[in-house]
Amino acid sequence: MTLVERFFDYISYDTQSDEETNMTPSTPGQMVFVKHLKEELEKMGLEEITLDDNGYLMASLPSNTDKTVPTVGFIAHVDTAPDMSGKHVNPRIVTDYDGNDIVLNQEQGIVLSPADFPELKDYIGQDLIVTDGTTLLGADDKAGIAEIVTAVAYLQAHPEIKHGKIRIAFNPDEEIGKGAHKFDVERFGCEFAYTMDGGEIGELEYENFNAAYAKVTIKGRNVHPGSAKHKMVNSIRVAANFIEMLPRWETPEHTEGYEGFYHLVGIQGSVEQTVLTYIIRDHDRNRFESRKKEIEHLVRKTNTEYPGSTSVEMGDQYYNMREKIEPVMHIINYAEEAMRMAGVKPKVQPIRGGTDGAQLSFKGLPCPNIFAGGLNFHGRYEFAPVPSMEKASEVIVNICKIVAER
């Protein structure tokens, strides 16, 4: 089976995660898919295949060298984002892309255009996998899964390529921030690993945001509007004032690179009560802590004007993996060399988000992130250049070679 055939097979499974279910995996479709993957790995003859009740699938390709070689792992997640449906994905290949608009759905007038997505121009002449505009594609992260399985199959077919023990793992619920929560690092048994969960070709990431959530609850007092003077407290208006007190330029739409932000992701409100849900992000740990303190300060300030009205529930989600990767920078050097061997220019950059690798790094498994090749994740305009996916799989093979040689 080719890489593209695997990818088309994998995206036919509906594996959207759901943060409301409080189960692992959060949706039954993920377990259906991971059982399918388990059968494929068994047919390939891999060893130490395990699938636990939480949907974590692991397997091994044994070493074929007498040398003592570190065990290296490769990881991808089986779920797709809750942002858009991943059910009944209908992909097609645009062969030899000519640089013009791609009509995804004639009937609904959905067009993937370089006018809106100029990065398309970087892939002129390549085969692109696109959607029909009614779903996301699922390259995040089924491209990563296909690349890992294809790389392992290549190593099996080419025993002349010497490598140590290779461990692979596919986990649920990365898109809702829980992919690493029940990942058994000890059972995985690797000295280091790589998540194949990045975007465009060449991406190599070992820095990510420090992340927290904040749930601000504002209680009001509802009184008939005809007799409300000096009695009513409209929680919606209080919430609007709270929102305006945060720096308007420190939001996702006004920041880039290492700049952090406050992101209001949800509002539920009535006169009686309004709840604001924020995510807080910053690469710098000190600024991250300051952002959390600012939220707490504004809660106190609001309570000064409206006593007892406002409370906050806040919690950390993950931290910047850089502090765990810097002591083992040779694993970044391996990835960079593997890319250059494949004719890919490494693009080392910070992640404006997080990956399972960040949490895994803090659980004792250093785990930077490598490109999977897709673009415009989480929506109908997602696409995956086939050569980028092929290069990602080649990089995996090259890393295995390099680790064995060193």
- For this structure, is 53 an active site residue? no
Q: Which of 141, 147, 174, 175 is catalytic?
A: 174
Question: Any catalytic annotation for residue 40?
Answer: no
**Catalytic choice (14, 79, 203, 394):** 79
End-to-end CA distance of the chain: 31
Helix H, strand E, coil C: the string for the chain is CCHHHHHHHHCCCCCECCCCCCCCCCCHHHHHHHHHHHHHHHHHCCEEEEECCCCCEEEEECCCCCCCCCCEEEEEECCECCCCCCCCCCCEEECCCCCCCEEEECCCCEEECCCCCHHHHHHCCCCEEECCCCCCCCHHHHHHHHHHHHHHHHHHHCCCCCCCCEEEEEECCHHHCCCCCCCCHHHHCCCEEEEEEECCCCEEECCECEEEEEEEEEECECCCHHHCCCCCECHHHHHHHHHHHCCCCCCHHHCCCCCCEEEEEEEEECCCEEEEEEEEEECCHHHHHHHHHHHHHHHHHHHHHCCCCEEEEEEEEECCCHHHHHHHCHHHHHHHHHHHHCCCCCEECCECCCCHHHHHHHCCCCCCEEECCCECCCCCCCEEEHHHHHHHHHHHHHHHHHHHHC
User: ∠ CA 291-317-268 to the nearest 5 degrees?
Assistant: 75
Annotated catalytic sites, by residue?
Answer: 79, 174
